[in-house]
Amino acid sequence: MLAQCVFSLILVTLSSSFDIPPTCNSPIYCQGRLLHTVQLAEVFKDSKTFVDKKLKYSQNETLNRFEKFMEAHGDKPTYKQVEKFVNEHFENGNELEVTDPLDWTESPIVLSRISDPELRRWATELNGLWKNFTRKISSEVERNGEKYSLIYVPNRFVVPGGRFREFYYWDTYWIIRGLLVSGMKETVRGMLENFFHMVKTYGHVPNGGRIYYIQRSQPPLLIAMVDTFYQETGDLEFVRTNIDVLEDEFKFWMEQRTVPVKKDGRYYTLARYYAVSKGPRPESYKEDYNKAHESFDNEERMQEFYVDLKSAAESGWDFSSRWYIVNATNNGSLSNISTRNIIPVDLNSFLFMNAQTLSKLYGELGFIQKSDHYAKLAKEWKEAVTAVLWNGEEGSWFDYDTLNHVQRKYFYPSNLAPLWTGCYDHHDAAVIAQKAVSYLLKHDVKSFLGGIPTSEMYTSEQWDLPNAWPPLQVIIIQGLARTHQPNATNLAYDLAHRWVLSNYKGYQDTGEMFEKYNAQYPGGSGFYGEYQPQSGFGWTNGIILELLSTYGGKLKAKIRTSREIPREMAHRRNRTHNVRTCN
């Protein structure tokens, strides 16, 4: 079959070609012996710490000094010697300036939509956090770019928080939604212009604002960001000026991330995450390198593993059982990751939304031929999503395994992303909504007072049970609400209520907003993964402010205490865990 041949060719290419590009061209931050030596010496607990540091000297001088250093120590320096070299040649730069957003206001309109005084006070404090996380890049980075891994952009932006001191692609969508309900339109305009700069420079929006991210992207939401801004401001001239950049971003995904998939005798074009570059991720170098050498005994298989890791990072879900393939199941461990061989529901739903939005925007600009082209593409994409990913018996969409030619019928909130993007036939909305509600209730989402869990599997990866992630909550909540069916909108409100109060409880207990939460214990921070739990947190704040803007007229700040998980639920989860972690 053609689809199978295409995937086989890709595997052969990865295994045999020496033309796989490096993560970036920097011989310090992305590839080379210096990076390898420092990261494997574990000078820093978090691998990201090193690649975010500034060079004290020029790139060439640093490399020359490193070669002399290695020669002096017989190519086998000790930990202390490597640490001394790093301290002498790298430093914490002052590339990011904390700066107040110029359009911030103490009393944004969202506050007037919140009836409960405690929730309004909380929202006031969250609105204040925008000032804490607004950054501007120093002009020094523009002048001496080779000394930094940070990519220069001209305008202010809001960072997620914690270890994430640069902007990130899909984080920014949810941050922008929160900024807009906080009335910060000019800040949003500047952030969008930063992304346009990235597309013009690299041909797409990278994963984040560091050079080691440029060979991979993240869930493609720039077109949705611009559409959200346009709906809020009515600024059609802004759209007109930048519509070609939006089309270039869309073309990147069409040209670089699509494959043919055969289903029931017909071929469909769909997309996957596929970030090809050589070697470990620089920001997780020792973790990737050690896992590869622990799991595989040849360089070819290691390079495939690195590509799958980067592709999962491109998805935003780094890491999860969602990307494991073992005997056509999601059993296994990280060494079984096979991201490039999975067609994800959410990615293809986002691309449908992008095509539909481009059609709308081109139509409003008067470009009828372009509008018709993207309307036709959106229609074809929806047909492909329905044919390959929809399962009427289960009442959900599912990712598709192109190696084994099967739907992956496992619970992940991303399965219902088509509700959020409208990627279904709307004359079937009542049936689709009822099936989606039944699907969620069958998977006992209401038994989790801390939010919808990311999966039903304990794997020690952060995009699995027990973690609950803010974007997945709002995709489900808004997706249900957008069907306009009473049973779905009621469930949407209940899930929004649980999520808002869980976040509120966590804030009351700790004074923090977390990157992720514990689905089983309201207000508790999530855990697992490659780094410590992070607080801040950009997308969490934005999503809560948007939910308060929508539901704040009814919500009350009564903290719901955690309760014991019903015995039958605990039994089911333990049984699922025991079965699915067997290899």
| Whole-number Å distance between alpha carbons of 208 and 284 | 14
- DSSP state letter for 326: B
- What pLDDT is recorded for position 11? 41
Give the CA dihedral 159, 160, 161, 166, nearest 10 degrees: -40
- What pLDDT is recorded for position 567? 38
Residue 505's SS3 state is helix
- What pLDDT is recorded for position 12? 36
Q: Mind telling me the catalytic residues?
A: 318, 515
| Whole-number Å distance between alpha carbons of 543 and 548 | 9
Per-residue model confidence as pLDDT tens digits over 441-466: 999 999 999 999 999 999 999 999 99
- What pLDDT is recorded for position 535? 67
Q: How far is CA 186 from CA 20, 98, 103, 104, 190, in A?
A: 40, 17, 7, 9, 6
Residue 521: name the closest of 468, 567, 480, 568 by CA: 468
Q: How far is CA 347 from CA 12, 93, 344, 379, in A?
A: 25, 36, 6, 16
Contact in structure between 189 and 182 (CB atoms under 8 Å)? no
Residue 272's SS3 state is coil
Per-residue model confidence as pLDDT tens digits over 26-42: 999 999 999 999 999 99
Q: How many helices (H) and strands (E) are present in the chain, helices listed first?
A: 22, 14
Residue 271's SS3 state is strand
- What pLDDT is recorded for position 559? 59
Give, for all 583 residues of the chain, the pLDDT tens digit. Answer: 333 333 333 443 444 444 799 999 999 999 999 999 999 999 999 999 999 999 999 999 999 999 999 999 999 999 999 999 999 999 998 899 989 999 999 999 999 999 999 999 999 999 999 999 999 999 999 999 999 999 999 999 999 988 788 999 999 999 999 999 999 999 999 999 999 999 999 999 999 999 999 999 999 999 999 999 999 999 999 999 999 999 999 999 999 999 999 999 999 999 999 999 999 999 999 999 999 999 999 999 999 999 999 999 999 999 999 999 999 999 999 999 999 999 999 999 999 999 999 999 999 999 999 999 999 999 999 999 999 999 999 999 999 999 999 999 999 999 999 999 999 999 999 999 999 999 999 999 999 999 999 999 999 999 999 999 999 999 999 999 999 999 999 999 999 999 999 999 999 999 999 999 999 999 999 987 666 667 678 999 999 999 999 999 999 998 554 443 343 344 334 434 333 443 3
- Phi-psi domain of 74 (left: phi exceeds 0; alpha: psi -120 through 50; beta: other): left
Give the CA dihedral 33, 34, 35, 41, nearest 10 degrees: 100
Q: How far is CA 310 from CA 212, 330, 375, in A?
A: 11, 18, 32
Longest dimension (CA), the chain: 74
- DSSP state letter for 529: S
Tell me the Cα Rg of the chain: 24
| Whole-number Å distance between alpha carbons of 499 and 418 | 21
